Amino acid sequence: MLGVGVWAYGETETAEDFMVAGRSLGAVVIAGTLLATWMGSGTVTGGANSIAYDNGLIPAILIGTASLIGIGVLKALAPRIRRFDKLTVPEMIGEELGDEGRIISLLVIAFAYVGIVSYQFIGIGFVLNVTTGLSVMQGTLLGTALIIALAAMGGLMSVAYTDAISAFLMLVGLVIAVPFVFFEAGGWSGITANVPAAHLDTLGNLSFLEFFALWAPPLLLILADQNMYQRIIAGETDDGTNAGLIAWFVGAIATMTLVPLIAFASRAMFPALDPGMALIATTTTLPTWVGGLLLAAATAFIITTGSSYLLSACTNLSQDLYKGFINPDAPDERIFWLTRVLVVVLGLFAFVLGQYFPTILEVQMYSYTAYGAAITPPLLSIFLFRDRLTKIGGLTGMVAGAVLAVSWDTVLGSPYGLDAVIVAAPIGCVLIMLVSYLTSARSSPSPTKA
């Protein structure tokens, strides 16, 4: 992967090359980069992996339906996204909601993405702990250096091609590993006999609200994830991009089924693990070549996801904050190198942030909720209800969603036992529609004046 990064360094000459790979990606690379970016440490050590281990197989697989719905929506919106001709989500939001919307969105994205990057570092720490005997902290430090280096060298050019490689590795590794893991766990009957009885129920040991609080954040994130939008923009042709999105959908189905199967078997084999280690731990029971392939694939997924989100956050600060507000006349070369410097600075900050969250799943859900509540409602409104959206309506929903996402659990203590995602995003959506309706009605000319 670092070798590809060195190659991409020589191919990257402009800010557009760095941010959207010069809009040159074909269908295969589009599919691979979308799959690998979305299925990173959150899949391998958090998300469906942790849920399958802690709560059961069925809820873990059902969680994946959120991503599939999101991919379907993005495929429908892809032609509009490509025609918008913007490089970042804050640019898109700023086009309709002004400078205020652009500033709010770039700050929220940088905050959420740094959180997502932080648990990619920890995910590599888990893998290296199993494979080399390094402590999780030592592995995390090494993972931090790898991710920062890959993102800084070639930008999206290096990330996209390593994504495609890692996506292929992961799918092959999972397909090969599942039969071996099930055999070692005693088959389906052996697994079901050695997991808690509640883990065999439809929602495992989760209530509906608990399940929904885990299901909604990934949907809200993927619908407006800047990484996905930039990869759609980076496609060389509309047809190639469309084919890549379809392949992503198929790959996501496979990944989000196979990972929970392995983690569910892991619960029967290792009943007292940190949930984030569920998939990784099973590799110690596999033939060396199978376990090694799966661990290499998992590491590749984590590295490319971390570098993608780190690069995207830095793009917001250089393209939207610096060039958009501080120095609009900044030459392309300065934006290019400023983005590289920011990769290192934000990467180090993400490492520090990761030390304050007790589990990967916790920081994952917190980051997803903040992004999904503040960014997804106004961005989808721009694409779906542009003629009825008003600036004050969009800004009201953005601010309300962001404030509730950050404060609902931490400051207010989850009133009524509801998670932030159940409250923040719906209130943001309602306020956008209600305030837009009221302000557009007020500004419309009366029939007599018309």
Mean pLDDT over the full length of the chain: 84
What is the per-residue pLDDT for 135? 92
Looking at per-residue confidence, does 361 or 256 come out higher?
256
Looking at per-residue confidence, does 46 or 389 come out higher?
389
Reply yes or no on whether the pLDDT at 449 is more than 80.
Answer: no
**Confidence band of 450 (pLDDT split at 50, 70, 90):** very low
Share of the chain above pLDDT 90, in %: 34
What is the per-residue pLDDT for 340? 84
Reply yes or no on whether the pLDDT at 448 is more than 50.
Answer: no
Average confidence (pLDDT) over 300-327: 84
> In this structure, what are the phi and psi dihedrals at residue 386, rounded to the nearest 5 degrees?
-60, -35
Distance CA 155, CA 16 (A): 10
What is the per-residue pLDDT for 21? 55
Reply yes or no on whether the pLDDT at 441 is more than 70.
Answer: no
**Least confident piece of the model among 321-335, 380-394, 422-436:** 321-335
Model pLDDT for residues 335-384, shown as the tens digit of each residue: 878 888 999 999 998 898 877 765 655 666 677 788 888 999 999 999 88
Average confidence (pLDDT) over 157-165: 73
Model pLDDT for residues 398-426, shown as the tens digit of each residue: 999 989 988 887 778 778 778 888 899 89
Return all residues near 194 (Cβ < 8 A) that are at least 6 apart: 185, 186, 267, 268, 269, 271
Reply yes or no on whether the pLDDT at 219 is more than 70.
Answer: yes
What is the per-residue pLDDT for 419? 82
What is the per-residue pLDDT for 421? 80
Average confidence (pLDDT) over 219-246: 87
What is the per-residue pLDDT for 22? 55
Reply yes or no on whether the pLDDT at 213 is more than 80.
Answer: yes
Average confidence (pLDDT) over 319-340: 85
**Least confident piece of the model among 91-95, 356-360, 441-445:** 441-445
**Confidence band of 101 (pLDDT split at 50, 70, 90):** very high
Average confidence (pLDDT) over 195-222: 90
Looking at per-residue confidence, does 431 or 447 come out higher?
431
Average confidence (pLDDT) over 230-257: 89
Distance CA 97, CA 219 (A): 23
What is the per-residue pLDDT for 358? 59
What is the per-residue pLDDT for 66? 94
Looking at per-residue confidence, does 447 or 146 come out higher?
146
Q: Report the topology of domain 1-361.
A: Sodium/glucose cotransporter (1.20.1730)
Looking at per-residue confidence, does 83 or 14 come out higher?
83
Model pLDDT for residues 4-19, shown as the tens digit of each residue: 777 766 666 665 655 5
What is the per-residue pLDDT for 191? 94
Reply yes or no on whether the pLDDT at 129 is more than 90.
Answer: no
Average confidence (pLDDT) over 123-129: 86
What is the per-residue pLDDT for 155? 62
Average confidence (pLDDT) over 296-310: 82
Reply yes or no on whether the pLDDT at 80 is more than 80.
Answer: yes
**Least confident piece of the model among 57-71, 159-173, 377-391:** 159-173
Domain boundaries, the chain: 1-361
